[in-house]
Structure formats: C-alpha cells, structure tokens
Amino acid sequence: IMKRFIFLFILFCYSQLSVKAQFHQPAKLTYTVTDFTNYTLTKEDINILSNEVERINETTGNQIAIVVMATSAGEKLESFSLRKANQWGIGNKKKSNGVLILVLAKDRKMRIEVGKGLTNVISNQEVERIIAQHMAPEFKLNNYRSGLMKGLKDLETVMIKNADAAENKY
C-alpha cells in the first residue's frame, strides 16, 4: 500500500508541475508554433507547421502563431486567448495584425484570436467556419497537425482574398 501511495503521490506532483509549467511561459513567443503540453504535437508536426506559418506570414505580411496548451485552468476561453495574444505580442503593434491559434488540448477547446487590424479581413463568421469545417473534425480524430494545416491554408485564403477586396475599394 505504501508503494502505491508513493507512486500516486509522485504522479499527482508531476501532473501539478506540468499544469503549472504551462502558465510560466515567456513574455514573448520565440517560435511560430509552440506546444507547451510537449505531447500534442510531435517535433515533425511542429517543423511542418512552423514552415507553413512562416510562409503564410511572409506572403500576407501578418503574423500567425500557433500555441498548444493543456488548459486555461477555468478561465473563459475568450478572455484567456486575448490575454495570451496580448502578453505574447503577436503581430505588429501598430498594425495589430496578429492571429493566435490557441488549442487547449486537455480542455478540448480552440480559438482563433484575430488582432484588431485584421477584423475587417477575417470576420468572426470566417473564424467559426474554419474551426467547424477544418479544425474541429480533425481534432476529434486526434489529427492536430492536419486540422491546424487545413485551418492555416483556409486562413491564408481568407486573408489574401479579403485584403485584395479591401484594396480594390475606392
């Protein structure tokens, strides 16, 4: 019984450390794709997604970041994602052209947080459609890389199409 208690105690302590560790992130993100869970995305997934994010960022002039965390620890998803996007400084401060794709793996939630400078380019309806059509179905199958890749490609299409339409107005 003592061995079992020690094992359970160690397991409990480890789980608490991993949850606490995700809340001690850096003030600024240093990578375009970050998995604070260390188990949702493989290194290969991160490399492939990072290359795609960097290509899209270069093509559009905006800044997308993907962050995977375990949980928001009970905080509402909307306020949590907005706080994290501001904390990490995603996008150009003057243009407010950042997009945070936040995945809370343990909570089974996701959100695409769009900077104010892109709200006329990426509407809430577009975000909801991207999540519902591309990301959620893949995530339900634990295909995180595929869901994120499909979401990224659709975000890029929306950004290019709507930015072109905005520029063509007189």
Kindly give, in sequence order, each residue whose CB lies less than 8 Å from that of residue 34, ignoring residues fewer than 6 positions away: 25, 65, 66, 67, 68
**DSSP letter string over 138-167?**
HHHTT-HHHHHHHHHHHHHHHHHHHHHHHH
> What does the pLDDT read at residue 93?
84
How high is the pLDDT of residue 3? 57
Q: Per-residue pLDDT tens, the chain, 170 aa: give them.
A: 655 555 555 545 555 554 444 444 555 677 899 999 999 999 999 999 999 999 999 999 999 999 999 999 999 999 999 999 988 989 888 888 999 999 999 999 999 999 998 999 999 999 999 999 999 999 999 999 999 999 999 999 999 988 765 554 44
Q: What is the pLDDT of residue 123?
A: 93
Query: Going by DSSP bridges, is the β-strand pair 109-114/98-104 parallel, antiparallel, or unpaired?
Result: antiparallel
Which pLDDT score, from 0 to 100, does residue 19 have?
Answer: 47
What pTM was estimated for this model as a whole? 0.82
